[in-house]
């Protein structure tokens, strides 16, 4: 694997072409051109909020716009409880009650309430399933991993409660145009290398602050060849290096996916050939193997070979990063006719994903059957679960100071529960391999039947 970087940024030229992010912002602000550093008002296409943040958003909204005020567009405010939905915790339950009351009072069209046929699960995957992630649009969410939707050519960013409340009342948001880092992945990717490995390699290169308030625009033949869900993984984790958003031009697989999800017209946008980038990073994936982020930071990344034989006490497959259908299919490829040797928890991101586990087959067996036969503790209740620790009764929560390998996105101290736990971030392949061996293991050994 080779990484090459160039510094392309020069003085701003209004005649210069625009990046993908800049073109979407220009369209949303009714301007012909925008440049990095400009602060402008941008029209919002979609706003999303979930159970931890909706009570705060609703409170600020009522305080600033009035108790009887109505949201700017009840069809464009998407409400999805997902963080702490299957818990007896009183505060968690209260948050969802507030969501129900607000949705009812405001006649919200898209409230995917838990316990109803409409419930989805993790908001970032549910947004895509619901057809709310459309190319060329501006999508805000009160969660940092809203950036996941950049995989659809959407300018998608996380916002705080106050910004969310302002957008809810006005349908716009003041925004500073970010400069863009272009990241080009090229070469031939090994089967054992997944999107999680690709983004962790970039994390190592940039560090947790290396893209602060920059857009990251993904390109290259490797990105073009990724599945829709793998592309979502790429954009999902850009926030871990401080990026404002991650984005890519939709490939044909993405357009096919959208055709089954939405009838709302959208515009696929592409960057100009003479667009100006603050940096360009070229990553040759030829020869790349699985990588692991060691405790306690997503940028503490090394090749799996450097960590082999480190004992692992628990494995976890789930979250907006690693709980999609493709992620479980990958795990099933490793777990087929094998048994886990350590407690292994799995939480589908959404109800649709759980259904797919039953209907999707690997080597003649459903993914559901492969996982359960292997001894995986598979939840039928989709959501964020242990990715963010959660209340004491959260499924898969790390309760002891042990070593854990996980498909999730963050491994900060206490992130998954116990503050003494050592969390290793890895691809679904690598997590499944460790679940079988009880040690950090190169998944290629199981994929090639050499082990």
| pLDDT at residue 448, rounded to an integer | 78
| Per-domain residue ranges of the chain | 41-176, 177-284, 291-448
Domain with residues 291-448, CATH architecture: 2-Layer Sandwich (3.30)
Which one of 3.30.70.3270, 3.10.350.10, 3.40.50.1220, 3.30.499.10 gives the CATH number of domain 177-284? 3.30.499.10
Chain segment 369-412, per-residue pLDDT in tens = 999 999 999 999 999 999 999 999 999 999 999 999 999 999 99
Q: What class does CATH assign to 41-176?
A: alpha beta
| pLDDT at residue 166, rounded to an integer | 98
Chain segment 67-92, per-residue pLDDT in tens = 999 999 999 999 999 999 999 999 99
Alpha-carbon distance 378 to 307, whole Å?
Answer: 27
Cβ distance 278 to 9 under 8 Å? yes
| pLDDT at residue 3, rounded to an integer | 77
Q: Is 50 exceeded by the pLDDT of residue 450?
A: no
What's the pLDDT band for 7 if we cut at 50, 70, 90? low
| pLDDT at residue 423, rounded to an integer | 98
* Pick from 8-22, 44-58, 222-236, 418-432: least confident: 8-22
| pLDDT at residue 451, rounded to an integer | 36
The predicted model gives 244-248 an average pLDDT of 98
The predicted model gives 122-146 an average pLDDT of 98
Q: Calculate Rg over the CA atoms of the chain.
A: 21
Q: What are phi and psi of 141, to 5 degrees?
A: -150, 145
Cβ distance 1 to 138 under 8 Å? no
In this chain, the answer to whether the domains covering 41-176 and 291-448 adopt an identical fold is yes
| pLDDT at residue 4, rounded to an integer | 72
């Amino acid at each position: 694997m080779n990484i090459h970087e160039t510094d392309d940024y020069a003085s701003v030229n209004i005649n210069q072409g625009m990046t993908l992010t800049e073109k979407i912002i220009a369209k949303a602000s009714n301007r012909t051109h925008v440049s990095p550093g400009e602060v402008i008002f941008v029209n919002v296409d979609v706003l999303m909020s979930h159970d931890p943040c909706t009570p705060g958003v609703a409170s600020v909204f009522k305080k600033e716009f009035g108790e009887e005020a109505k949201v700017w567009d009840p069809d464009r405010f998407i409400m999805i409880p997902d963080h702490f939905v299957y818990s007896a915790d009183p505060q968690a339950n209260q948050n969802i009650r507030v969501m129900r009351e607000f949705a009812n009072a405001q006649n919200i069209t898209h409230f995917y309430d838990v316990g109803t046929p409409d419930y989805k699960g993790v908001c970032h995957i549910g947004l895509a399933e619901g057809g709310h992630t459309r190319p060329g649009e501006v999508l805000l969410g009160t969660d940092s991993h809203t950036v996941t939707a950049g995989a659809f050519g959407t300018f998608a960013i996380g916002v705080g409660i106050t910004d969310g409340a302002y957008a809810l009342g006005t349908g716009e948001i003041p925004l500073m145009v970010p400069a863009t880092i272009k990241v080009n992945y090229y070469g031939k990717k090994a089967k054992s290398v997944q999107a999680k490995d690709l983004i962790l390699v970039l994390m190592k290169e940039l560090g947790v602050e290396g893209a602060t308030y920059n857009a990251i625009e993904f390109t290259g033949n490797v990105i073009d060849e990724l599945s829709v869900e793998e592309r979502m993984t790429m954009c999902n984790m850009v926030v871990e290096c401080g990026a404002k958003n991650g984005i890519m031009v939709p490939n044909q697989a993405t357009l096919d996916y959208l055709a089954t999800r939405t009838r709302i017209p959208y515009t696929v946008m592409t960057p100009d050939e003479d667009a100006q980038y603050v940096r360009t990073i070229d990553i040759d994936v030829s020869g790349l193997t699985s990588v692991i982020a060691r405790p306690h930071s997503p940028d503490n990344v090394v090749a799996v070979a450097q960590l082999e034989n480190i004992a692992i006490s628990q494995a976890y497959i789930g979250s907006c990063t690693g709980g999609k259908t493709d992620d479980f299919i990958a795990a099933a490829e490793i777990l087929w006719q094998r048994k886990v040797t350590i407690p292994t928890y799995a939480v589908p991101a959404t109800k649709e994903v759980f259904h797919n586990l039953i209907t999707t087959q690997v080597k003649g067996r459903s993914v559901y059957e492969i996982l359960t036969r292997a001894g995986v503790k598979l939840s039928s209740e989709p959501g964020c679960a242990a990715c963010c620790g959660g209340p004491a009764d959260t499924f898969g929560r790390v309760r002891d100071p042990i070593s854990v390998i996980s498909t999730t996105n963050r491994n900060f101290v206490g992130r998954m529960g116990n503050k003494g736990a050592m969390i290793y971030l890895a691809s679904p392949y690598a997590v499944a391999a460790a679940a079988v061996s009880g040690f950090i293991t190169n998944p290629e050994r199981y994929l090639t039947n050499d082990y």
